Amino acid sequence: MRDVAAQAKVSLKTVSRVVNGESGVSPRLAKRVLAASERLSYRHNLTASSLRRSDGRSRTIGVVIEDVANPFASTLHRAIEDVAVERRVLVLAGSSDEDEQRERELVSAFASRRVDGLIIQSSSHDHRYLMAERKAGVALVFVDRPASGLDADCVVTDNAAGIRRAVRHLVEHGHGRIGYLGDLHLIATAAERHQGYVEELAEQKIRFDPALVRLDLRGIEKAEAAASELLRSSRPPTALIAGQNLITIGAFRALRHLNLNRRVALVGFDDFVLADMLEPGITVIAQDPAAMGRMAAGVLFQRIDGDHSPAQRHTVRTRLITRGSGEIGP
């Protein structure tokens, strides 16, 4: 840093302010410092800097998501990162793969690196293990799924309302025998979606038939097998609702394999890339993971900045996108 100060002909304090993103330095001086840093290939030691900073912040946050390969999770992560970049904060991220132990290991790894806050798409069913991090001053925000056993901010989707909208849409197109393909029932969001399906059937005065329901489906292949089984049954459904984007893909594969993609209606929960390019295009209840990520990051940074108000639940609404598959009659 001394070399940078000498090269730019400024004080050490000025260099420190520039590399730490602090105010009080004119654009002209900041440009000189950055140019000198580039010429000297200077790399700021953030770990040492965080130890010296009066606020003790590391300018990093940790993000635990289900699976970065899932389009929903990757969009969520990118939105969080976009907000963090504006604040010159680094994002550390990892996938829990719906494994509670893996989630705890990621949280522990991030906490050991002194992250200022955590955004968690949780796989755990008991978050009291986070009390130590909270007492240490780490800000906590849950996204997609609320915390359990811990009072914390969360940003969620209107899961039940979205599925109820899907059921109503299919009923409006003449369907009364509607099958449901759901994710792991232990996942809070999956349970809410299944409950929405059951409740809206009752609202529409349609008898709930457990033979039309398949739960605990993880991945495209299991969803395809379950959909095929339903469609080959003696009394198959005239329409399907898929409770997650990968399940929707599996359901469509089954419909196409059985040459039923133009005869059996399909509505998926959560959009996915190229859903509009299939034949027919897939009607979906679309979440807004980008909005959820931006909101979660915004709430987290408010907490990091000293907001101590009571924890809040923030809900991002879904929307129905009609593309053809959900408008097929019985």
Instruction: Round to whole Å and give the CA distance between 149 and 300.
Output: 19
**Residue showing tokens 């604040």:** 87
| Residues ≥6 apart with Cβ < 8 Å to 280 | 261, 262, 323, 324, 325, 328
Eight-state DSSP code of residue 210: G
Specify if 54 maps to a domain: no
Question: Among 46-50, 115-119, 155-159, which stretch is predicted with the lowest mean pLDDT?
Answer: 46-50
- The mean pLDDT value for 181-199 works out to 94
Task: Check whether 51 has a pLDDT greater than 60.
Answer: no
Specify if 49 maps to a domain: no
* 84 and 9 part of one domain: no
- The mean pLDDT value for 14-27 works out to 76
Number of domains in the chain: 3
- The mean pLDDT value for 44-53 works out to 53
Tokens for 59, please give them.
């300018």
* 182 and 277 part of one domain: yes
What is the full DSSP assignment across 13-39? HHHHHHHTT-SS--HHHHHHHHHHHHH
Task: Check whether 184 has a pLDDT greater than 50.
Answer: yes
Query: Would you state the pLDDT for residue 251?
Result: 98
Q: Partners of 117 in the beta sheet?
A: 61, 139
CATH number, domain at 6? 1.10.260.40
Domain span at 17: 2-44
- Quickly state the pLDDT bin for 53 (edges 50, 70, 90): low
Query: Sheet harboring 265-269: ordered strands across?
Result: 213-214, 178-181, 239-242, 265-269, 283-286, 319-321
* 167 and 269 part of one domain: yes
* 84 and 14 part of one domain: no
- Quickly state the pLDDT bin for 17 (edges 50, 70, 90): confident
CB atoms within 10 A of CB 221: 12
- Quickly state the pLDDT bin for 83 (edges 50, 70, 90): very high
* 251 and 303 part of one domain: no
Specify if 55 maps to a domain: no
* 104 and 206 part of one domain: no
**Residue showing tokens 């349609």:** 206
Question: Among 17-31, 39-53, 183-197, which stretch is predicted with the lowest mean pLDDT?
Answer: 39-53
* 145 and 176 part of one domain: no
Range list of β-strands (E), 90-247: 90-95, 117-120, 139-143, 153-157, 178-181, 213-214, 239-242
pTM: predicted TM-score of the whole model, two decimal places = 0.77
Question: Among 33-42, 87-96, 276-285, which stretch is predicted with the lowest mean pLDDT?
Answer: 33-42
* 175 and 279 part of one domain: yes
Model confidence pLDDT, tens digit, residues 305-319: 999 999 999 999 999
What integer best gives the mean pLDDT of the chain?
Answer: 91
CATH number, domain at 220? 3.40.50.2300
Q: Which residue has the higher pLDDT, 281 or 39?
A: 281
* 171 and 275 part of one domain: yes
- Quickly state the pLDDT bin for 233 (edges 50, 70, 90): very high
